[in-house]
Structure 1
């Protein structure tokens, strides 16, 4: 599942109540200097709300958000910064939790690798959504049927005012579960993934696609290259495999790893970097140097930093002082 390092929703306050997890997004754009968002109308409830929906079995929250928004708006999107979620009791006595992200329309050219890696878009059903509307944010606040839905909108407006809304993602992945050193009799750089590790690599694909990853950078060592290979195949991206992201080269020259991370922060392209546990302190140090204080304070600080197959999504905004990490999420993709 996906969760921000600072939980947007917190634990449910209703003990023993069945929980329904759902996810969606606030799709935004700028027109003539005005911030606009997209609302959908659901005929079943006769309400105007944000596009969202329930998770499918084995689906990560962020993957569900990208899928549901695309299905209900009819256009693929790319997830941005996480927004405050909502939780409430349904008339049946269940707890409904809705997780939201800011989102932008995907570009067929710039986001082609991520779109290629996704499942085909299902056409929206008019039984679920019969109208869609782009509105200035003040008009959207007035149009929303539920007052609680204005909470994520207010956070979106604040992020836009602070220059934290237009972002690209730099995703840090620790390679999947590998054979133990004791069980492997080859070289360290050739130590392979276990079957679980291969499943973790496959589980990364829809998550990376949801964040619009177009650039792939990885340690050349087998366990990293194999972890990222499913996304490379699905997206048809051309990976950059590097020896200096391996454990031995990092020990000799951590500055080259730091330079690679800085390049990804500056690039403006959503990217993924796959590396090893001993390399993560250098990676996280660079992220911390380019982070807002509130973000730097919640970056992983204890070994092992990330578990095998886990990823950290850093949302990066361009500022006058250079790239700034304005939000982070830690994700454990579901593996079956």
Structure 2
């Protein structure tokens, strides 16, 4: 597993200054009769079989672009799981193109309906762009793929399947958006509001949380956290849970209650988001580390401020015989324009 959606450095090339084209997509998977199957699409313009993917729209976050492109090219919505190794190559025009991939499962209306409701409508692509789709066993898919480089993400998907790391739920940890500075706020600390930038950061989390199928919202009751979650609550129609235990003051007196809350989210089978404050993050990260593989635990933020305002950490959690296990991490800064 990788800790970021794109794996592999750009490396030294003679075109480091060239513009980068960012694209995103997914390997849609399912298990039938004990066999891992994946979905490929055919592009008639190039007469090739590949993974559904496409370019980012302006101001679009990578996870949001991935679920949009997969829905456009397969006609069905998906929910993102663990990130997979990405690809990069030079286009004929000399530009660097990078493709970011995730494992993705078909969305289920009864489970993911609220998250799907928070997404923008998607229109399927025209037949002259994608004219065929096919489900294949993983070995058959490896042979059907037109480009050998597309087998890299598939190899990682197969490995995750064999490890039992494909069925996961997400636990997103969000630091509230940018707030009015303490030095310029003369009201009660719990009422300190977001700045205009903070409101924009809050709005930018909506498509990202929806991409991971978040159906549970927990937040500090303090104004800056509750307001950060408001756009997603409004878009999804979810009923949030607010807790004083996630505030700075209550955490200082009883960090064990925050730890218990995080453990509950890891043990749940629902994808969730927890919004809290910078001083609370060390306790949150400590619990994640206790339930992580060593490589994942070593990748957790270790320096103050741990997350920037509006930034989120997405933990992908698999159920194992020994309890919940964080098998992959992503740190995401939703774009704000």
Q: What TM-score, normalized to structure 2?
A: 0.97
Query: For residues 140-179 of structure 1, what are the structure 2 equivalents within 5 Å?
Result: 140-179=141-180
Q: How big is each residue's C-alpha offset from its partner over 1:247-304, in whole Å with a ceiling of 9 and x where there is no partner?
A: 0000000000000000000001000000000000000000000000000001000000
Partner of 2:272: 271
Query: For residues 32-181 of structure 1, what are the structure 2 equivalents within 5 Å?
Result: 32-181=33-182
Residues in 2 aligned to 1:77 and 1:13: alpha-carbon distance in whole angstroms: 35
Partner of 1:287: 288
Q: How big is each residue's C-alpha offset from its partner over 1:215-260, in whole Å with a ceiling of 9 and x where there is no partner?
A: 0000000000000000000000010000010000000000000000
- Structure 2 residue 330 is matched with structure 1 residue 329: yes
Partner of 1:302: 303
Kindly indicate whether the alpha-carbon contact (under 8 Å) linking 1:12 and 1:95 is maintained by their aligned counterparts in 2.
no
Q: How big is each residue's C-alpha offset from its partner over 1:49-70, in whole Å with a ceiling of 9 and x where there is no partner?
A: 0000001111111111111011
Deviation at 1:75, TM superposition (A): 0.3
Residues in 2 aligned to 1:87 and 1:45: alpha-carbon distance in whole angstroms: 18
Residues in 1 aligned to 2:244 and 2:230: alpha-carbon distance in whole angstroms: 16
Deviation at 1:9, TM superposition (A): 2.7
Deviation at 1:163, TM superposition (A): 1.0
Kindly indicate whether the alpha-carbon contact (under 8 Å) linking 1:174 and 1:311 is maintained by their aligned counterparts in 2.
yes
Deviation at 1:130, TM superposition (A): 0.4
Kindly indicate whether the alpha-carbon contact (under 8 Å) linking 1:178 and 1:223 is maintained by their aligned counterparts in 2.
yes
Residues in 1 aligned to 2:34 and 2:230: alpha-carbon distance in whole angstroms: 41
Kindly indicate whether the alpha-carbon contact (under 8 Å) linking 2:6 and 2:84 is maintained by their aligned counterparts in 1.
no
CA RMSD of aligned residues (A): 1.1
Kindly indicate whether the alpha-carbon contact (under 8 Å) linking 1:80 and 1:167 is maintained by their aligned counterparts in 2.
yes
Deviation at 1:12, TM superposition (A): 4.8
- Structure 2 residue 3 is matched with structure 1 residue 9: no
Deviation at 1:181, TM superposition (A): 1.1
Residues in 1 aligned to 2:234 and 2:301: alpha-carbon distance in whole angstroms: 30
Kindly indicate whether the alpha-carbon contact (under 8 Å) linking 1:5 and 1:298 is maintained by their aligned counterparts in 2.
no
Deviation at 1:193, TM superposition (A): 0.5
Kindly indicate whether the alpha-carbon contact (under 8 Å) linking 2:83 and 2:328 is maintained by their aligned counterparts in 1.
yes
Partner of 1:233: 234
Kindly indicate whether the alpha-carbon contact (under 8 Å) linking 1:6 and 1:298 is maintained by their aligned counterparts in 2.
no
Residues in 2 aligned to 1:130 and 1:293: alpha-carbon distance in whole angstroms: 44
Q: How big is each residue's C-alpha offset from its partner over 1:147-191, in whole Å with a ceiling of 9 and x where there is no partner?
A: 000010000000000111111000000000000111111100011
Residues in 2 aligned to 1:17 and 1:331: alpha-carbon distance in whole angstroms: 24
Q: How big is each residue's C-alpha offset from its partner over 1:42-101, in whole Å with a ceiling of 9 and x where there is no partner?
A: 011000000000011111111111110111000000000000001111122111111100
Residues in 1 aligned to 2:89 and 2:125: alpha-carbon distance in whole angstroms: 26
Partner of 1:261: 262
Q: 1:270 to 1:46 in 2, by over 3 A?
A: same
* Structure 1 unaligned residues grouped into runs of 5+: none
Kindly indicate whether the alpha-carbon contact (under 8 Å) linking 2:6 and 2:86 is maintained by their aligned counterparts in 1.
no
Q: What TM-score, normalized to structure 1?
A: 0.98
Deviation at 1:200, TM superposition (A): 0.4
Kindly indicate whether the alpha-carbon contact (under 8 Å) linking 1:82 and 1:102 is maintained by their aligned counterparts in 2.
yes
- 1:317 counterpart SS class: strand
Kindly indicate whether the alpha-carbon contact (under 8 Å) linking 2:6 and 2:99 is maintained by their aligned counterparts in 1.
no
Residues in 1 aligned to 2:8 and 2:79: alpha-carbon distance in whole angstroms: 22
Residues in 2 aligned to 1:217 and 1:6: alpha-carbon distance in whole angstroms: 25
- 2:97 counterpart SS class: strand
Kindly indicate whether the alpha-carbon contact (under 8 Å) linking 2:248 and 2:280 is maintained by their aligned counterparts in 1.
yes
Deviation at 1:17, TM superposition (A): 1.9
Kindly indicate whether the alpha-carbon contact (under 8 Å) linking 1:117 and 1:206 is maintained by their aligned counterparts in 2.
yes
Residues in 1 aligned to 2:81 and 2:161: alpha-carbon distance in whole angstroms: 12
